[in-house]
């Protein structure tokens, strides 16, 4: 696709690959798929990124299917390769929870496992060659197709806000309304530092979902951008194409570390924030 879109300039190629398949209200009042940047801009807040929803929900269903199937076919004898793999992931997550969470909550370990596996699967989509799925989509009349849900801030902020809601819920549940409000207003300088306390604790609280969402989005978006820029090189010359192929291989190998690391960081911060929600300050 890179060579085909060079006629439209490299910037048009990059913009196309960074545009989501968007469903919303069109300028004529009907609802449908946007076929250009102007239509997307006019759809406003209620527009839906169909590709983000499709791939994120599909990969989430894949995670549930694989793990539930392994659980149903669990054996105490010689385990299959898939059972070994799933047990290794579960043990890894369980070790992380035991090392970072000091309270007692049966939800934390399953939450950490879901967060890690789901984000890892979404991140791994960044290793699919950038032209394959968009080109296939265009061949059947679909104008845009972004395959990495974590490069969409709507997805990362959605997950971060879900974790944030749990933080607030368990903060109130474990400490009571009075304890939670007291923590926001009396820490760290006591009753005489009320305005400063509210500011500091408010910033600390709000920064939790923002840090979760933006860190994941920023790293994966940058990785996708580099893959797209490398793909542009294939349309310039044979020498640059060969060089781009080497760069693509090297960046893909390095990007595997980023894909794993960002899933691990999101999971670890989720565990740490849940642990903070369970701690009481006296």
pLDDT, tens digit, for every residue of 9-26?
Answer: 888 899 999 999 999 999
Closest C-alpha to 23, from 43, 3, 52: 43
Asked whether the predicted pLDDT for residue 50 surpasses 90, the reply is yes
pLDDT value for 186: 84
Residues 6+ apart with CB under 8 A from 172: 180
Instruction: Please state, rounded to an integer, the average pLDDT across all residues of the chain.
Output: 91
Lowest mean pLDDT, pick from 70-84, 137-151, 218-232 = 70-84
pLDDT over 90 for what percent of the chain? Answer: 70
Residue 261 corresponds to which tokens in the numbers above? 């690391």
Q: Which residues are catalytic?
A: 211, 215, 219
Asked whether the predicted pLDDT for residue 45 surpasses 50, the reply is yes
Give residue 8's pLDDT band: very low, low, confident or very high (50, 70, 90): low
pTM of the model: 0.91
Lowest mean pLDDT, pick from 37-46, 232-241, 256-265 = 232-241
Whose tokens are 């990785």? That residue is: 223
Asked whether the predicted pLDDT for residue 275 surpasses 50, the reply is yes
Asked whether the predicted pLDDT for residue 71 surpasses 80, the reply is yes
Lowest mean pLDDT, pick from 7-11, 43-47, 101-105 = 7-11
What distance lies between CA 172 and its chain's CA centroid? 27
Asked whether the predicted pLDDT for residue 66 surpasses 70, the reply is yes
Give residue 3's pLDDT band: very low, low, confident or very high (50, 70, 90): very low
Backbone angles phi, psi at 151, to 5 degrees: -90, 5
Say if residues 115 and 270 touch (Cβ distance below 8 Å): yes
pLDDT over 70 for what percent of the chain? Answer: 96
121 vs 281, more confident: 121
Asked whether the predicted pLDDT for residue 217 surpasses 60, the reply is yes
192 vs 93, more confident: 93
182 vs 125, more confident: 125
Whose tokens are 């010689």? That residue is: 78
pLDDT value for 68: 95
Alpha helices in 129-233 (DSSP H): 132-139, 153-186, 194-233
Asked whether the predicted pLDDT for residue 80 surpasses 80, the reply is yes
Asked whether the predicted pLDDT for residue 166 surpasses 90, the reply is yes
pLDDT value for 9: 80
Q: Count CA atoms closer than 13 A to 51's CA, side-chain side.
A: 23
Say if residues 86 and 70 touch (Cβ distance below 8 Å): yes
pLDDT, tens digit, for every residue of 105-154?
Answer: 999 999 999 999 999 999 999 999 999 999 999 999 999 999 999 999 99
Asked whether the predicted pLDDT for residue 31 surpasses 50, the reply is yes
């Amino acid at each position: 696709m890179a060579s085909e879109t060079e006629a439209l300039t490299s910037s048009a190629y990059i913009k196309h690959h960074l545009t989501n398949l968007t469903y919303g209200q069109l300028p004529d009042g009907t609802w449908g798929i946007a076929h250009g940047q102007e239509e997307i801009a006019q759809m406003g807040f209620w527009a839906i990124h169909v590709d983000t929803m499709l791939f994120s929900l599909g990969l989430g269903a894949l995670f549930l299917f694989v793990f539930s199937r392994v659980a149903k076919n669990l054996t105490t004898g010689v385990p299959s390769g898939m059972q070994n793999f799933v047990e290794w992931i579960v043990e890894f997550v369980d070790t992380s929870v035991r090392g970072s969470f000091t309270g007692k909550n049966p939800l934390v370990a399953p939450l950490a496992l879901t967060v890690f596996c789901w984000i890892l699967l979404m991140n791994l989509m960044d290793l699919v060659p950038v032209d394959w799925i968009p080109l296939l989509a265009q061949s059947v009349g679909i104008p845009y197709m972004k395959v990495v849900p974590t490069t969409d801030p709507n997805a990362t902020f959605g997950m971060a806000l879900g974790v944030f809601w749990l933080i607030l819920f368990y903060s109130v549940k474990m400490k009571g309304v009075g304890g939670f409000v007291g923590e926001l207003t009396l820490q760290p300088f006591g009753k005489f530092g009320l305005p400063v306390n509210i500011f500091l604790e408010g910033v600390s609280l709000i920064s939790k979902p923002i840090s979760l969402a933006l860190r994941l989005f920023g790293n994966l978006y940058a990785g996708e951008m580099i893959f797209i820029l490398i793909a542009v090189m294939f349309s310039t010359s044979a020498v640059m194409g060969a060089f781009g192929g080497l760069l693509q291989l090297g960046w893909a190998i390095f990007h595997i570390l980023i894909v794993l690391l960002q899933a691990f960081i999101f999971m670890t911060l989720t565990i740490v924030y849940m642990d903070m929600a369970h701690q009481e300050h006296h």
